């Protein structure tokens, strides 16, 4: 257990530039405090001593705002950053060097017996407010964006965003665990593609209208009629949503 605590301390100093010293981590990091208490309650849980581990778990929840069921299995070097509102269920499993931000839930989806909570492989990063639900597996080196809801298995080396969570990137490159904000904007990309398609269709309609006018006037059909301007991404609200408008 001592080696595990050393790993927990080391990962905080590695990943949090605000950590100035050992005493500060011990006194001011609720994530570390909650994990330390959990490791104690988990040992008692495995000894099948009734009630006491749950009491310790609830006491830790009251003090830190982090609720970890004593039955959850948590590896070495796990960092719960800030941590307020984090919930980790009974059959959840968290691999080494995972990083969880505030508001994360590793929860179940029903009242089934047995395994009903997620398994995180090594080096998984879960953004603030994300929910990972059910007896699913999230592969190693995966990032889950803030606010996402993941209910299906995720392969290793993936980036997941949205509700429900969708894999928007996958590669064999090891992720930077602190780059949780460098996630692709899937919704903006979809909107761009849709607006480009609308632009193309509008230009076709304009061209057809001009050719129809030419034919009605007895003029020959032309293939080189300029399409004119369509709405497309010139719409100010869409540009602002995509973060591309000059609103000064």
Q: If you ran DSSP here, which 8-state letter would residue 163 be given? A: T
| Structural tokens at position 131 | 């929910």
Name the 3-class secondary structure at 1: coil
> Which residues share a beta bridge with 138?
120, 154
CATH architecture group of domain 2-170: 3 Solenoid (2.160)
**pTM: predicted TM-score of the whole model, two decimal places:** 0.70
Tens digits of pLDDT across the chain (248 residues): 678 888 888 888 888 888 888 888 888 889 999 999 999 999 999 999 989 999 999 999 999 999 999 999 999 999 999 889 999 999 999 999 999 999 999 998 877 788 999 999 999 999 999 999 999 999 999 999 888 999 999 999 888 888 887 787 666 555 555 555 555 556 666 777 777 777 778 777 877 887 787 777 777 666 665 555 555 555 666 666 556 655 44
How is the chain split into domains, by residue range?
2-170, 186-241
Q: In whole angstroms, how far apart are CA 101 and each of 83, 126, 189, 209, 246?
A: 6, 6, 26, 55, 33
H helical segments located in the chain? 2-15, 22-28, 30-46, 52-64, 186-216, 236-241
């Amino acid at each position: 257990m001592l080696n595990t605590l050393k790993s927990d301390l080391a990962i905080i100093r590695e990943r949090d530039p605000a950590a100035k010293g050992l005493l500060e981590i011990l006194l001011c990091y609720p994530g570390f405090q909650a994990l330390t208490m959990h490791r104690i309650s988990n040992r008692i849980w495995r000894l099948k001593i009734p009630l006491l581990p749950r009491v310790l778990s609830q006491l830790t929840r009251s003090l830190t705002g982090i609720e970890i069921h004593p039955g959850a299995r948590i590896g070495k070097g796990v960092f719960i950053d800030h941590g307020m509102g984090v919930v980790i269920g009974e059959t959840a499993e968290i691999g080494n060097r995972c990083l969880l931000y505030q508001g994360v839930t590793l929860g179940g989806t029903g009242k089934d017996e047995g395994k009903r909570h997620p398994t995180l492989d090594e080096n998984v990063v879960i953004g603030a407010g994300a929910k990972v639900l059910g007896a699913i597996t999230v592969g190693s080196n995966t990032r889950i964006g803030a606010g996402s809801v993941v209910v299906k298995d995720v392969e290793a080396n993936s980036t997941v965003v949205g509700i429900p969570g969708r894999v928007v990137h996958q590669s064999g490159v090891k992720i930077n665990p602190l780059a949780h904000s460098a996630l692709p904007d899937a919704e903006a990309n979809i909107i761009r593609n849709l607006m480009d398609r609308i632009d193309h269709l509008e230009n076709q309609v304009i061209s057809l209208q001009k050719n129809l006018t030419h034919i009605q006037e007895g003029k020959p059909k032309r293939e080189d009629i300029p399409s004119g301007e369509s709405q497309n991404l010139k719409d100010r609200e869409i540009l602002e949503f995509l973060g591309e408008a000059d609103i000064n």
